[in-house]
Amino acid sequence: KMKEESTIRTFEFNAIYIIDSLNSGELQTARDLHNDIVRRRLMNLSFVQSEYIHISNKKEFLCLLTTIKNKILSRTHFPFIHLEIHGNPNGIVFQSKEQLSWDQLTNSLRDLNIELHNNLFLSMATCYSGYIIGSILPSLPAPFFACIVTWDELTGEDIMISFQSFFDFILQTDPSQKVNLNAAVQILNDSFSNSWRYHLYNSEQLFERVF
């Protein structure tokens, strides 16, 4: 659940996509997150599926989003998308060194979120992912219901510790309860001493910020 000014907003998901574009010599944080935490927790949550997907370039990424959109069109598929892709203030950078601008990313995600009726949740273990906010226009539909991003540079060790704790928390919640996203983001930041590195924004907050 997300609480803002005493209003509670919820979203639902029944599929988790953990997507990376890391080089072979790097710490494989996304793969380990899926294998060590997510897959184990989902043994007790039969109504949620997960998939770890490694992509090499921009074309593969855009094709994957199209595949996810086609599943959404069945009206029974509600994805939670987690990205572990390198980033800079201009966009995300794939293993191929190709870059996808924040504008291009939000345009692609907007297509998914429209079909989901503003129910897409996005988390990004991506350096400078907060800059995605600059590509959001109040004149267009929101590209996601909410996102978790950082304005900072991250290391593989940062990501490993923080997001393993995050997913371990949200996936151990009793199915009859709503996940407290604010508490989950607190757990994300607990691994950093005296620093708030990850931020949770919902679409209404982002529209207000852009205005």
Quick: pLDDT tens for 58-97.
999 999 999 999 999 999 999 999 999 999 999 999 999 9
pLDDT at 177: 64
3-class DSSP state of 15? strand
pLDDT at 176: 56
Residue 147's DSSP bridge partners are 122, 201
Of 210 and 14, the one with more pLDDT: 14
Pairing of strands 121-124, 79-84: parallel
Residue type, 50: S
Alpha-carbon distance of 100 to 104, in angstroms, equals: 6
pLDDT one-digit tens code per residue, 120-137? 999 999 999 999 999 998
Specify the pTM.
0.91
**For residue 5, what pLDDT is reported?**
40
Say if residue 14's pLDDT is above 80.
yes
Instruction: Please indicate whether residue 134 or residue 206 has the higher confidence score (pLDDT).
Output: 134
List pLDDT tens digits, range 107-119. 999 999 999 999 9
Residue predicted with more confidence, 107 or 47: 107
Q: Amino acid identity of 69? A: K
Which whole number is the average pLDDT over 178-207?
A: 85
Flag whether pLDDT at 8 surpasses 80: no
DSSP class of residue 87 equals: E
Strand residues in the chain grouped as ranges (E): 2-4, 7-9, 15-20, 49-54, 79-84, 86-88, 91-93, 99-101, 121-124, 146-150, 198-202
* Residue of 138 and 72 predicted with greater confidence: 72
Written as six digits, the tokens of 40 are 């184990």
CB 133 within 8 A of CB 109: no
The proportion of the chain whose per-residue pLDDT surpasses 90, expressed as a percent, equals 70
pLDDT confidence of residue 1: 43
pLDDT score of 159 more than 70: yes
Average pLDDT taken over every residue of the chain: 89
pLDDT on residue 211: 66
Mind giving me the DSSP string for 100-152? EEHHHHHHHHHHHHHHTTS--EEEE--TTGGGGGGG--TTS--S-SEEEEESS
